[in-house]
Amino acid sequence: MGQKIMGCGAGLRHAHIEEILKNKPNISWLEALSDNYLREGSVHQEYLFEIASYYPVLLHGVGLSIGAADPLNQNYLSQLKALADRLDPPWVSDHLCWSSVHGLATHDLIPLPYTQSTIHHVASRILDVQDYLGRELVIENVSSYLEYQDSMMPEWEFISEVVEAADCGMLLDVNNVYVSASNHNFSADTYLAAIPAGRVRQLHLGGYDDRGTHLLDTHGYPVSEPVWALFEKALKKLGPVPTLIEWDNNLPTLDVLLAEVEKAKTIMRKVTQ
């Protein structure tokens, strides 16, 4: 694949596009929400291609619904392949969840039951997607707030078995690990220790909302100090994995977002050099 993704990047949001194109800030790479750019010939797509002429761009989706019982959405996959073929990222990412049922989108990322049958189902679909796209699909752990009674293993064992069975990569969302660990009272350190390091292609960092009874993954705040600390531990295990700052809600000015990216860079240099 044509692009090299290294260091720390930022999530590309529409509100920042004009400023990025005008000022060309020093950003190692950007990650675009692929679902916003699938319509061929759209203004959004043209903006994205202009951005990609200056910066490496990764594609990160929310609409694949890899864990759903419905057949894979071939129209969605066709549009995603056309976009990926033009941008040529080293991988395409989405979430280890289901987000649609009977062809209707839930507009949420719903976790899966952690069972052997789910591993087989999801791994088979990931293999199909990778064959179709002609590039690696990298799957992200989602935050969760409830657990299935049918689950037979912890989340870290489940996701580790999925990526091995599907021979795919993992996007380790450090914030989601911390949120789920807090919500379900398990050890985030145990989760990190169990992740197969050779499968991790990318890290995500973001902010959560403390609702008192639970933490809610909102991507609407700066990265919290406990998540920065967990990020350091992840880097010690994984090395300098490409890391993204996600900030989707309560969107700050570009300089505030890039300050978070710089903080991630500083931590990465300290831990891995």
Average pLDDT of the segment spanning 49-70: 96
Contact residues for 49 (Cβ-Cβ < 8 A; gap 6+) = 86, 87
- The whole-number pLDDT of residue 102 equals 67
* Lookup: tokens for 159: 């996701």
- The whole-number pLDDT of residue 110 equals 85
Residue 151 CA to residue 260 CA, distance in Å, equals 36
75 burial via Cβ count (<10 Å: 0-12, 13-18, 19+): exposed
> What does the pLDDT look like over 231-270, one tens digit per residue?
999 999 999 999 999 999 999 999 999 999 999 999 999 9
Instruction: Inform me whether the pLDDT recorded for 78 exceeds 70.
Output: yes
pTM comes to 0.96
Radius of gyration of the chain (CA): 18
Residue 216 CA to residue 108 CA, distance in Å, equals 13
Is residue 7 classed as helix, strand or coil in its secondary structure? coil
- The whole-number pLDDT of residue 190 equals 98
> What does the pLDDT look like over 151-193, one tens digit per residue?
999 999 999 999 999 999 999 999 999 999 999 999 999 999 9
- The whole-number pLDDT of residue 273 equals 84
pLDDT band at 41 (very low <50, low <70, confident <90, very high): very high
Residue 145 CA to residue 215 CA, distance in Å, equals 8
DSSP 149: T
Q: Which fold has domain 8-272?
A: TIM Barrel (3.20.20)
Give the C-alpha distances (Å, rounded to integers) separating 243 from 81, 202, 210, 226. 24, 6, 23, 17
Instruction: Inform me whether the pLDDT recorded for 206 exceeds 70.
Output: yes
- Indicate the residue type of 14: H
Residue 78 CA to residue 76 CA, distance in Å, equals 5
Average pLDDT, the chain: 95
Higher pLDDT, 256 or 103: 256
232 burial via Cβ count (<10 Å: 0-12, 13-18, 19+): middle
- The whole-number pLDDT of residue 108 equals 78
Higher pLDDT, 110 or 6: 6
Paired with 95 in beta bridges are: 140
Instruction: Inform me whether the pLDDT recorded for 1 exceeds 90.
Output: no
